[in-house]
Chain A
Amino acid sequence: MAPVKRKAPRGEVAAQAVSVNDLPWLVRHDAGRCVLCGACTAACTFGAIEAKLPPAGASAAEREARKEAGEDGRPVIVQKAEAAHACTGCGMCEKVCPAGAIRPVRNPDNRWAVLSRTHGEPARRGGRGGRSVVEAPPRERTLDAVVIGRISQMTDPALDSERHTFELRSPLGRLLRPGELPLRVEDGRLVLAGETPPVRWIYPVIFSDMSIGALSTRAWEALALAVAWLNEECHLPVRMSSGEGGVPTRLLESERLRYFILQIASGHFGWNRIIESLPRMKADPAAVLIKVGQGAKPGDGGLLPAAKVAPHIQAIRGVPGATLHSPPNHQGLYSIEEAVQKMHLSMNAAFGFRVPVAVKCAASATSVAVYNNLLRDPYHICGGFFLDGMLGGTGAAYSVSLEHTGHPVVSVVRDCYRAAAGPGLQGRIPLWAGGGIGMNGDAAADAFKLVCLGADGVVLGRLLLQLLGCVGNEHGRCNACNTGYCPVGICTQDPRLVRRLDVDRGAQAIVDYMRAFDAELRKLLAPVGNSALPVGRADALVATRRDVADRLGIAYAC
Chain B
Amino acid sequence: MCRIGSIKCREAVPPSLALRLMLPQQEGHDNSGFALVMQDLEGAFSHYKETPLLSLATTPEGLRLVADHMAALGFVQLAQWVPEVDNRAGLNMAAMPRYVFSNYDWPEVYRYRGQKDREELLLDTRLALRRLLEEHDAGYVYSFWPDVLTLKEIGDPADIAAYFRLWDDDGRLVARNIVAQCRQNTNYGIVRYAAHPFFLQGHTLCANGENTLFTRNREFQQSLHRGYTGFESDSQCLLYTLHYVHRELGWPLTYYKHVLTPLPAAEAASREDGEVLGLIRESLAQLEINGPNAIIGLLPDGKMLACCDAKKLRPLVIGGDGDMVAMASEVCALNAILPARDKEKDIYPGERELVVVDNGLELQRWLQ
Q: Which residues of A contact B (CB under 8 A)?
A: 152, 155-157, 159, 165, 167, 169, 171, 175-181, 183, 185, 188-192, 196, 199, 201, 421-424, 426-427, 528-532, 534-539
B288 part of interface (Cβ distance < 8 Å): yes
Q: Are B275 and A192 in contact, with the CB atoms below 8 A?
A: yes
The one of A169, A183, A530 in contact with B279, judged by C-beta atoms closer than 8 angstroms, is A183
Name the one of B210, B249, B310 contacting A156, with C-beta atoms under 8 angstroms: B210
Known: A531-B290, A532-B288. Is A185-B251 also a contact (CB below 8 A)? yes
Assuming A165-B264, A176-B282, A421-B220, what are 19 further A-B pairs, CB within 8 angstroms? A152-B212, A176-B279, A177-B283, A178-B283, A180-B283, A181-B279, A181-B280, A183-B280, A185-B250, A190-B280, A199-B282, A201-B265, A424-B220, A427-B285, A528-B212, A529-B212, A530-B212, A531-B310, A534-B213
The verdict on A426 contacting B290 (CB below 8 Å), with A155-B210, A534-B216, A537-B213 known, is: no
B291 at the interface (CB under 8 A from A): yes
A424 CB → nearest B CB, Å: 3
23 contacts between A and B (CB under 8 A): A156-B212, A156-B292, A167-B265, A171-B282, A175-B285, A178-B280, A180-B283, A181-B280, A185-B250, A185-B251, A185-B252, A188-B254, A190-B251, A192-B275, A196-B279, A199-B282, A421-B223, A427-B286, A530-B291, A531-B310, A534-B212, A534-B290, A537-B216
Least distance between A137 CB and chain B CB atoms (Å): 35
B108 beta carbon closer than 8 Å to chain A: no
Query: Knowing A155-B210, A167-B264, A537-B215 touch, does A179 contact B279 (C-beta < 8 A)?
Result: no
Whether, in the assembled complex, B128 has its beta carbon less than 8 Å from a beta carbon of chain A, the answer is no
Q: Is A426 in contact with B286, judged by CB distance below 8 angstroms?
A: yes
A529 in complex: contacting residue of B1, B276, B286, B290, CB < 8 Å: B290
**At the interface, yes or no: B71 with Cβ under 8 Å from chain A?**
no
B187 at the interface (CB under 8 A from A): yes
Q: Which residues does chain A contribute within 8 Å of B251, judged by CB atoms? A: 183, 185, 190
Q: Which residues of B contact A (CB under 8 A)?
A: 1, 187, 209-210, 212-216, 219-220, 222-224, 244, 249-252, 254-255, 264-265, 273, 275-276, 279-280, 282-286, 288, 290-292, 310-311, 313
Partner of A181, one of B187, B223, B224, B283: B283
Name A418's closest neighbour in chain B (CB-CB). Answer: B219
Residues on B with C-beta less than 8 A from A178 are 244, 249, 280, 283-284
Closest 8 CB pairs of A and B: A424-B223, A156-B210, A539-B215, A421-B219, A155-B210, A175-B282, A530-B290, A156-B291
Shortest Cβ distance from B276 into A: residue: A190
Interface of B, helix, strand, loop or mixed by DSSP: loop
Cβ of B216 and Cβ of A535 under 8 Å apart?
yes
Closest A-chain residue to B266, C-beta based?
A167
Cα–Cα distance between A476 and B280 once the two chains are bound (Å): 49
Complex CA distance for A46 and B252, rounded to whole angstroms: 70
A529 cross-chain contacts in B, Cβ below 8 A: 212, 290-291
* Cβ contacts under 8 Å, A201 to chain B: 265
Q: What CA separation (Å) do A185 and B214 show in the bound complex?
A: 29
- Please give me the residue from chain A that is nearest to B219 by CB atom: A421
Distance to closest chain B CB from A180 (angstroms): 8
Determine the chain A residues whose CB is within 8 A of the CB of B280 once the complex forms. 178, 181, 183, 190
| Chain A residues, Cβ within 8 Å of B223 | 421-424
Q: Is the CB of A183 within 8 A of B213?
A: no
- Residue in contact with A157 in the complex, picked from B282, B288, B292, CB distance below 8 Å: B292
- Say which residue of B279, B291, B310 sits within 8 Å of A192 (CB atoms): B279
- Bound-state CA distance A196–B279 (Å) is 9
> Which of A155, A199, A535: most chain B CB closer than 10 A?
A155
Which residues does chain A contribute within 8 Å of B212, judged by CB atoms?
152, 156, 528-530, 534, 537
Name A199's closest neighbour in chain B (CB-CB): B282
Residues on B with C-beta less than 8 A from A196 are 279
Bound complex: CA A305 to CA B108 (Å): 80
Docked Cα-Cα span, A538 to B265, in Å, equals 24
User: Which residue in chain A gives the minimum CB-CB distance to B288?
Assistant: A532
Contact A535 B265 (CB under 8 A): no
Chain B residues within an 8 Å CB radius of A538: 215
Contact partners of B214 in chain A: CB under 8 A? 539
A508 to B47, CA, bound (A): 77
B240 nearest CB across to chain A (Å): 12
Min C-beta distance of A415 to chain B, whole Å: 14
Quote the shortest CB–CB distance from B123 to chain A (angstroms): 18
Q: How near does chain A come to B166, taking the closest CB pair, in angstroms?
A: 30
Task: Tell whether, in the assembled complex, residue A179 and residue B285 are in contact, meaning their CB atoms are under 8 Å apart.
Answer: no
Closest chain-B Cβ to A186's Cβ sits at a distance in Å of: 10
Beyond A183-B279, A191-B276, A536-B215, whether A169 also contacts B249 by CB under 8 A is no
Query: How far, in whole Å, are A29 and B285 apart by their CA atoms in the complex?
Result: 61
Chain B residue nearest to A187 (CB atoms) is: B252
- Nearest to B221 among chain A residues (CB) is A424
**A248 to B223 CA separation, bound complex (whole angstroms):** 47
In the complex, what distance in Å separates the CA atom of A201 from the CA atom of B265? 9
Q: How far is the CB of A555 from chain B (nearest CB, A)?
A: 11
Given A189-B252, A196-B279, are A424 and B224 neighbors across the interface (CB < 8 Å)? yes
Report A-chain residues with C-beta under 8 Å of the C-beta of B265. Answer: 167, 169, 201
Q: Are B1 and A155 in contact (CB under 8 A)?
A: yes
A421 CA to B217 CA, complexed, in Å: 11
State in angstroms the CA–CA spacing of A178 and B284 once bound together.
Answer: 7
**How far does the Cβ of B210 sit from chain A's closest Cβ, in whole Å?**
4
How far apart are the CA atoms of A532 and B290 in the complex, in Å? 8
**Is A188 a contact of B290 with CB atoms below 8 Å?**
no
With the chains together, A421 CA to B313 CA distance in Å? 30
Query: Complex Cα distance A424/B280, Å?
Result: 16
Tell me which residues across on chain B come within 8 A of A199, comparing CB atoms.
282
The complex places the Cα of A528 from the Cα of B214 at a distance, in Å, of 13
List of A residues within 8 angstroms of B275 by Cβ? 192
Q: Are B220 and A426 in contact (CB under 8 A)?
A: yes
CB distance from A553 to the nearest CB of B (A): 10
Residue of A nearest to B254 (CB): A188
Measured in the bound complex, the distance between the Cα atoms of B286 and A178 in whole Å is: 11
Q: Which of B212, B215, B244 has the most CB of A within 10 A?
A: B212
B35 nearest CB across to chain A (Å): 20
In the complex, chain B residues whose CB is within 8 Å of the CB of A528: 212
Query: Whole-angstrom distance between the alpha carbons of A152 and B219 in the complex?
Result: 21
Expressed in whole angstroms, the Cα–Cα distance for A290 and B27 within the complex equals 60
Chain B residues contacting A155 (CB-CB under 8 Å) are 1, 187, 210
Q: Given A169-B265, A189-B273, is A536 in contact with B219 using a C-beta cutoff of 8 Å?
A: yes
A538-B251 Cα distance, complex, nearest whole Å: 30
List chain A residues, Cβ under 8 A from B285.
175, 427, 535
**CA separation between A159 and B212, bound complex, in Å?**
13
Q: Say which residue of A157, A167, A179, A421 sits within 8 Å of B249 (CB atoms).
A: A179
Whole-angstrom distance between the Cβ of B70 and the nearest chain A Cβ:
32
B313 touches A157 (CB 8 A): yes
Complex CA gap A224/B210 in Å reads: 43
Minimal Cβ-Cβ distance residue in B for A530: B290
A156–B209 contact, CB under 8 A?
A: yes
Residue of B nearest to A159 (CB): B311
Smallest Cβ-Cβ distance to B209: which chain A residue:
A156
**Contact A190 to B283, CB < 8 A, known contacts A529-B290, A539-B214:** no
